[in-house]
Structure 1
Amino acid sequence: MIKNYFKIALRSFRKHKLFTFINVVGLSIGISAAVVIYLIVQFDLNFNRFDNDTSNVYRIVTNYSFAGNPGYNGGVCGPLTVAVKNQVPGVDQSAPFFTLWETKVNVPGEHGAELTLKKEKNIVLADGQYFNLFHYNWLAGSAKSALNRPNQLVITSQRAQLYFPNVPYDRIIGREVIYEDTIKTTVSGVVQSLPANTDFAFTDFISYSSGNTVPAWKDNMQLTEWGSTTSASQLFVKLNPRVSPQVITRKINDLLKKYNPPKAEDKGNSQSFSLQPLANLHFSQQYFPFDNGSTVSLTTLYGLLIIGAFLLVLGCINFINLTTAQASQRAKEIGIRKTMGSTRSQLIMQFLSETFLVTLLAVIISVCIAPVILKLFADFIPPGISANLIHQPDLVIFLIVLTIGVSLLSGFYPALVLSGYKPVAVLKTQANSLAGKTRNAVLRKSLTVTQFVIAQFFIMATVLVSKQIYYALNKDLGFKKDAIVNISTPFKSLGTDKQQVFLNAVRNMPQVQMVSVGGAAPSSSNTNSTTAKYTDGKKEVKTDVEQKFGDENYIKLYNIKLLAGRSLQPADTGRAFVINNTYAKTLGFRNPADAIGKVLDYNDRKMEIIGVANDFYQKSLHSAIRPLVILQPFRNKWNNRTLHIALKPQTAGGTEWTTALDKIGSTWKNIYPEDDFEYTFYDEAIAKFYTVEQNTTRLLTWATGLSVFISCLGLLGLAMYTTGQRTKEIGVRKVLGASVGQIVALLSKELIWLIVLAFVLVTPIAYYAMQKWTENFVDRTPISWWVFVLSGAGMLVAALFTSSFQTVKAAAANPVKSLKTE
């Protein structure tokens, strides 16, 4: 019986090749999208899974509020680590670590050869508690003793193979690895590398106590500064199951009040700690996992699931519409089968088997093209994602469930409709009346409207997201971003003559307009903040402020406008700074000029306000402008590492910038022969703030194209069928004098009304969804009316263009031929 079902199904496919092709293509696109999206969502939802119980593991994070504006930092102040360990009962384990940024690594070889790696990331200072909290598989060494003493080192298996190729893990113990040319460490352990889907992608673990032996590391860690917070300093804790997180949060904040007490005058400003569950680490948009990490929005993942579901539904709708539209062509077949004794259940199984074969073929095609799709989007799909049926049994299960689900969703209703025909009616040649009912069926129109709703929603979303990105990339951020190059000088050269020699050489190049040396650019992903206090005799305002470091050219180079006072001068180092207008308002000055000359307590120093700068965005448009100080670097060498180079305007078609970069690169090689020359155009760095949104636009563009393609594909099939059913009617109308344009308008009238109805339904839904999405931006573009009009018109044009291939052909046909077919 089953064999007979499939034989009949294959015969039906051969007879209706075009409709079968449309169904297979539509389902293949939907299933391919579902497979790829499943792989992405499954990969992200399984992030940070360790083989031990981590349900009670939390990260301590820092929250701020300044004049009603919230601020967030995934790090903590340095002394909190020891305080929590010694003074907070209920914390069973605590694991601090400090992330090092772009570190040079030298690995001496056994026979004199040396491996040199520059600007390496994923290197941290950690202690043994880290490996007690997060279980790794130890290949050599032991968690109990591996990081007990200064200058000990634990590396992952992947890093061990790079540092010491073909050396057994047990023989790596005791080998030497040198950081920043002078910091010698000894390997004390090797652990198995974690899977790709983890934020804990660290490769080198240097003992935490080494921070006290290396001056530069000690300065950055700020182990005694309760008022300074850096995202590089992380603290994870495991709570006793009998103690609630709320109790621990209160105790941790009691420590802050004890060692860094707030003043009663600090109205509107606050600082506090909170606990972030490990399970939330990868999905938090407010707190990045680590300096080298990234986050994924759960909303984005749910959006991907919706996109996949929509594309799958579109393919299923095509199948249902085209199958029910063919009812008249199979009516007599059904009548004869029923007359010969076939039951309704047997006919349902027959039609479901046909649907199953189409779905199975679509699944096979989808599995074949899924790797191609992954490569197509490889630049923003995590590298650990792959489609491998042999090593991914969960993917096989998903495909089986998907095949059965799509077969039932697509085939069950058509099977009920077709199997429900009465043999007496269909054998009395009432097939055309059946076709008429099919053509005018409410369900078919509803499904078609649903297709257009989905397609128009994607079009509207794509246009608005693109509009927001264009707005973000072209908005005046409060500073100059074009024709500026950022270069980080080697750590070892800081404070030496080499940096000054390089700086002077660049300044003297004819293509260079100006050079500044300092820390991060005005807008960057790095957050460096501290606490400052102002007292005017009546009240005291204590505020967490963000810091930007630069020399006397910094403000001028970035064209940051001064509202009052003057810019920085060399004599201001360590004694004066420029603040932004937001900070001036926080301090209570409505007029920026009133803040000039006021003195603040800043990092145990008295600092005078010499200027008030116009507000500029310190991060992307996602974040609000925070209180800020701009000062010349002192104390910490890291704040004097970045060269900001403004190039002179380039002539049209000129090569001045290329020449300048070549000269800078040659000078770099002469002064730093061991270090690679790397630079970043600042406007490109700004654009990277919106990588997620740009990827979203790209994904939406593809989803829009596919949804419109699937919808138009189904529309073409329906147009071919309906015009075929109305061939005689068209012939009669032409004989009576109807023109081609009138007939095309007649055949397209129903389609236009369906698109208009879909537009009316989708517009409020799309508006609400887009309004919620733009709430992620503090500064956002308005949702313009033309976005919806353009999207609706675009869908209408695409649909009419697709259907016109068949309607124009039918309208232009010779009526004599159509009337002869009677």
Structure 2
Amino acid sequence: MTQNMIKNYFKIALRGFKKHKLFTLINVVGLSIGISAALVIYLIVYFDFTFDKFHKDPERIYRVTTDYSFAGEVGHNSGVTLALAPAIKSEVTGVDIIAPFYTYDQTTVVIPNGTAADNKVKNQPGIIFTDENYFKFINYKWLAGNPKTSLKNPDQVVLTSAQAKIYFPKLAYADMMGKEVIYDDSVKTTVSGIVAPITERTDFMYHDFISSITATTNSYLKANFEQPQWGNTNSASQLFIKLSPTASAAKVEKQLNVMLNKHNPPRPEDKGNTQGFTLQPLKAIHFDQVYGGMEGARTANKTTLYGLLVIAAFLLILGCINFINLTTAQASQRAKEIGIRKTMGSRRGQLIAQFLSETFLITLLAVIISVAAAPLILKIFADFVPKEISLNIVHHPDVILFLLILVVVVSGLSGFYPALVLSGYKPVDVLKNQVQSGSSKSRSVWLRKSLTVTQFVIAQFFIMATVLVSKQIYYALHKDLGFRKEAIVNISTPFKQLNTDKQQVFLNKIRSIPQIQLISVGGAPPSSNNTNSTTVNYLDGKKEVKTDLQQKFADENYLKVYNIKLLAGRNLRTSDTTGGGGTLINNTYARILGFRKPDDAIGKILDYNGKKKQIIGVTADFYQRSLHAPIKPLAILQPTTNKYNNRTFHILLKPETAGGAEWKAGMAAIEKVWKNIYPEDDFSYNFFDDNIAKFYTAEQNTSKLLNWATGLSVFISCLGLLGLAIYTTTQRTKEIGVRKVLGATVAQIVTLLSTELIWLIVLAFVLVTPIAYYAMHKWMENFADRTTISWWIFALSGAGMLAAALFTLSFQTVKAAIANPVRSLRSE
């Protein structure tokens, strides 16, 4: 193919675009929407699937996790017992690297005689206790210090260079060595190493690495850290291992569980209860929905990513369908051009190249528009698109490759069939005005109908899915969860202040604030992502019932603040301590213990690892987490021994008058007291109902995405419908004029022109309904408590699509129906 020939192809294509402006615009817009969606979704999917790929031999790296089952209640924990790591060294083969670490709560860091502002950095996350093995499975570049000795001794800390510059902004790395860094005013460390931060995509976001031996030698830490007992599991205690090249993950996992049974053997009365370790591949952590990802890191959902790919494919298909439909529909208008070119000697291959070049130009224009629109789309979806994602072509050579592949694929999908149809016309038939034979014309019509039905199947599927997701979100946010959630504020005492009397001073002062109705002090609110559980035994006289029991720590005002119903017995009292006295249980736990009535549980004794607790009351069930999870057996206790379980203020505010500012004034008064008592700590609070809404952030993001996908799919489908309506009315111009002369009304002509296309939409509704129902049913299985898939979801979706189609068709059909018949009869 010569250069002049290619140049000629593009000249003809541009001339055709100018002649058929409307159809060209419809094709460009349809393809632009599909390609924009594909480009943005590609960036998101590529971003998430490239996490932690930079490690050496990543397929040999695993996280050890804990699974358990008690009385039919299954649980999963990303952490392990602290006793596991040292035991692996001596009892398990096939492991090259054992890298335990313990995550530390956000804390205040003090730099004595430092150059940071006020010598203090507040609320620092990303702090862990670990040893030199951590730097063996994650290969950091060392800028100062020795990786073999930097975490060998107590009170040592290694910093990333970025964090070190925050603490010591004016010092060189060598000068930072030996400088003091103090955590929580009690953990004094010296800098023993500086490493370059990880520049690759990773979930390991830590930047302060304190030697793990510090946790066992520092008196402040020993009082708060878990002791290495085989029965204790904490998600803060993480363990990574790297297997030997010839080792099998299944065999190592089996060794771990044999070792667990050796050190923590099951008792005969524990029949049916299990506990074990699982090796989780490194590549699975970023997508984990069972154990949870790394602390502070974003977790992606593979199902959502695959759903995004499906949406991108659907929108691309819709744009391609529009192109095929409109191009084949215009075939008769280009018949003479094709006939003359064939008569002049053009071969079929040359005509196919001509039509594919036209498709290529339209696709290329659509890609350019898509690239320009992508930053705007990323901004629109900024709430759930990772902020690191941006359309920077220079830094994303893979994006250029993706766009080139997209241009080729879309050009082929959209242009190949129309090119075959158009290039197949016979010159003799064309010049006789016999463009298509009966069979070929019938095939073209049926193809257009099939593609139109496919378009509306996709569009109606999106509508139905959007309505159902919105219905489930509304159900979750408005369901009675078993507690009050409005007008409640949660405030937590600074961790380092738990062993002081400031908490009681703060409580006494805020009690007098007039906007506050009631205050409770305890642990987590009724529904929270923070879970605390323990194994509890109950002896019913015949057999022992062992159960994993969720725990909430509270005082006597807790039930009143949250309006939790008491079914039997009495409320908590100050004397009901964890070392003795009473506990509340929920109705689910009462049933598991075998009590038919809540009153039957009152007075029975529970064994908390050797400590006896009497059941003093039974509360109505309430959801401890989102509706995704079922209600678990639960106990509500008075906290005493661990002050960490007594650090949250649950404040019930008095009702606010319409348009009033009482709550604002009340929070301002609380903040004033806070700054007086805790001047070094930032004041922060959460409204409880906002925290409940955050449980469904993923669903709300899905709903937002579906709203856009639905709107775009309906828009593209209606664009195609409008194009077909324009083509149909143009082809039937003379027929319309004759019918009007013979007395047909506007309504009759509109009905005539619309009926066939409306029936295609009805057929699409019939086809999509069972498909949508199945997909909805599978999605709803993610919720332990869910709304119903009502019939009106389908009826509303079908009616909405039909209304949109009629509205679109009316622009052209009414225009054709009211046209002057004299002009119609002169049109030929």
- Is TM more than 0.5 here? yes
Aligned pairs (5 A) from 1:573-584: 573-574=577-578, 575=580, 576-584=582-590
- CA drift of 1:495 comes to 3.0
Equivalent residue of 1:118, what SS? strand
From 403, 412, 418, give the equivalent of 1:414: 418
The one-letter amino acid paired with 2:749 is I
From 781, 786, 791, give the equivalent of 1:785: 791
Indicate the residue corresponding to 2:380 in structure 1: 376
Change (3 A) 1:67 1:339: same
Moved more, 344-353 or 196-205: 196-205
- CA drift of 1:603 comes to 4.0
The one-letter amino acid paired with 2:76 is Y
Equivalent residue of 1:570, what SS? coil
The one-letter amino acid paired with 1:278 is L
The one-letter amino acid paired with 2:351 is L
From 602, 621, 630, give the equivalent of 1:624: 630
CA distance in structure 2 between the partners assigned to 1:243 and 1:229 by the alignment:
26
The one-letter amino acid paired with 1:207 is S
Moved more, 777-786 or 116-125: 116-125
Q: C-alpha deviations, 1:153-197, integer Å up to 9, x for none?
A: 122233223222253333322222221123222222222222463
The one-letter amino acid paired with 2:620 is N
Indicate the residue corresponding to 2:825 in structure 1: 819
Moved more, 302-311 or 82-91: 82-91
Indicate the residue corresponding to 1:393 in structure 2: 397
CA distance in structure 1 between the partners assigned to 2:116 and 2:739 by the alignment:
94
Moved more, 211-220 or 529-538: 211-220
From 125, 141, 150, give the equivalent of 1:121: 125
Indicate the residue corresponding to 2:750 in structure 1: 744
**Does structure 2 conserve the Cα–Cα contact (< 8 Å) formed by 1:328 and 1:434?**
no
**Does structure 1 conserve the Cα–Cα contact (< 8 Å) formed by 2:114 and 2:167?**
no
Indicate the residue corresponding to 1:675 in structure 2: 681
Equivalent residue of 2:459, what SS? helix
Change (3 A) 1:630 1:78: farther
CA distance in structure 1 between the partners assigned to 2:753 and 2:254 by the alignment:
71
Moved more, 192-201 or 383-392: 192-201
CA distance in structure 2 between the partners assigned to 1:463 and 1:112 by the alignment:
52
From 309, 316, 334, give the equivalent of 1:330: 334
CA distance in structure 2 between the partners assigned to 1:433 and 1:737 by the alignment:
33
Q: Is it true that 1:187 corresponds to 2:194 in the alignment?
A: no
**Does structure 2 conserve the Cα–Cα contact (< 8 Å) formed by 1:227 and 1:530?**
no
Moved more, 536-545 or 378-387: 536-545
Equivalent residue of 2:716, what SS? helix
Q: Is it true that 1:539 corresponds to 2:543 in the alignment?
A: yes
**Does structure 1 conserve the Cα–Cα contact (< 8 Å) formed by 2:71 and 2:547?**
no
- CA drift of 1:243 comes to 3.1
Q: Is it true that 1:661 corresponds to 2:667 in the alignment?
A: yes
Q: C-alpha deviations, 1:349-394, integer Å up to 9, x for none?
A: 0000010011111111111111111111112111221111111111
CA distance in structure 2 between the partners assigned to 1:179 and 1:614 by the alignment:
42
Equivalent residue of 1:117, what SS? strand
Indicate the residue corresponding to 2:782 in structure 1: 776
Indicate the residue corresponding to 2:655 in structure 1: 649
Q: C-alpha deviations, 1:617-667, integer Å up to 9, x for none?
A: 111111122222211222222111111111111122221111110110111
Q: Is it true that 1:253 corresponds to 2:257 in the alignment?
A: yes
- CA drift of 1:241 comes to 3.5
- CA drift of 1:247 comes to 2.3
| C-alpha RMSD over aligned residues | 1.9
Equivalent residue of 1:445, what SS? helix
**Does structure 2 conserve the Cα–Cα contact (< 8 Å) formed by 1:156 and 1:192?**
yes
Q: Is it true that 1:758 corresponds to 2:772 in the alignment?
A: no
From 696, 701, 704, give the equivalent of 1:695: 701
The one-letter amino acid paired with 2:415 is G
**Does structure 2 conserve the Cα–Cα contact (< 8 Å) formed by 1:527 and 1:546?**
yes
Aligned pairs (5 A) from 1:420-819: 420-431=424-435, 437=441, 441-574=445-578, 575=580, 576-819=582-825
The one-letter amino acid paired with 1:598 is K
Moved more, 203-212 or 727-736: 203-212
Indicate the residue corresponding to 2:85 in structure 1: 81
CA distance in structure 1 between the partners assigned to 2:682 and 2:264 by the alignment:
43
Q: Is it true that 1:302 corresponds to 2:306 in the alignment?
A: yes
- CA drift of 1:110 comes to 4.0
Equivalent residue of 2:695, what SS? helix
- CA drift of 1:252 comes to 1.9
Equivalent residue of 1:441, what SS? helix
From 6, 30, 33, give the equivalent of 1:29: 33
CA distance in structure 2 between the partners assigned to 1:448 and 1:599 by the alignment:
69
Change (3 A) 1:604 1:84: farther
Change (3 A) 1:612 1:227: farther
**Does structure 1 conserve the Cα–Cα contact (< 8 Å) formed by 2:67 and 2:76?**
yes
**Does structure 2 conserve the Cα–Cα contact (< 8 Å) formed by 1:439 and 1:722?**
no
Equivalent residue of 2:721, what SS? helix
From 237, 240, 243, give the equivalent of 1:239: 243
- CA drift of 1:785 comes to 1.0
**Does structure 2 conserve the Cα–Cα contact (< 8 Å) formed by 1:78 and 1:221?**
no
Q: Is it true that 1:40 corresponds to 2:44 in the alignment?
A: yes
Equivalent residue of 1:787, what SS? helix
**Does structure 2 conserve the Cα–Cα contact (< 8 Å) formed by 1:230 and 1:527?**
no
Aligned pairs (5 A) from 1:29-428: 29-110=33-114, 114-195=118-199, 197-215=201-219, 217-428=221-432
Q: C-alpha deviations, 1:523-570, integer Å up to 9, x for none?
A: 111122222222344322222222211122122211222222222111
Q: C-alpha deviations, 1:328-361, integer Å up to 9, x for none?
A: 1110000000000000000000000010011111
**Does structure 1 conserve the Cα–Cα contact (< 8 Å) formed by 2:116 and 2:169?**
no
The one-letter amino acid paired with 1:361 is L
CA distance in structure 2 between the partners assigned to 1:135 and 1:112 by the alignment:
29
CA distance in structure 1 between the partners assigned to 2:630 and 2:230 by the alignment:
24
The one-letter amino acid paired with 1:414 is P
How many residues are paired up? 822
Moved more, 671-680 or 553-562: 553-562
Moved more, 181-190 or 451-460: 181-190
CA distance in structure 1 between the partners assigned to 2:712 and 2:439 by the alignment:
29
- CA drift of 1:593 comes to 2.3
CA distance in structure 2 between the partners assigned to 1:73 and 1:667 by the alignment:
38
Equivalent residue of 2:801, what SS? helix
- CA drift of 1:430 comes to 3.0
**Does structure 2 conserve the Cα–Cα contact (< 8 Å) formed by 1:288 and 1:294?**
no
**Does structure 2 conserve the Cα–Cα contact (< 8 Å) formed by 1:229 and 1:529?**
no
Equivalent residue of 1:676, what SS? coil
Equivalent residue of 1:221, what SS? coil
The one-letter amino acid paired with 1:428 is K
**Does structure 2 conserve the Cα–Cα contact (< 8 Å) formed by 1:267 and 1:541?**
no
Structure 1: tracts of 5 or more residues without a match: none
- CA drift of 1:420 comes to 0.4
**Does structure 1 conserve the Cα–Cα contact (< 8 Å) formed by 2:68 and 2:273?**
yes
Moved more, 811-820 or 545-554: 545-554
CA distance in structure 2 between the partners assigned to 1:440 and 1:418 by the alignment:
11
Q: C-alpha deviations, 1:268-299, integer Å up to 9, x for none?
A: 43322211111111112111013423422211
Change (3 A) 1:423 1:217: farther
Change (3 A) 1:302 1:492: same
The one-letter amino acid paired with 1:208 is S
The one-letter amino acid paired with 1:398 is F
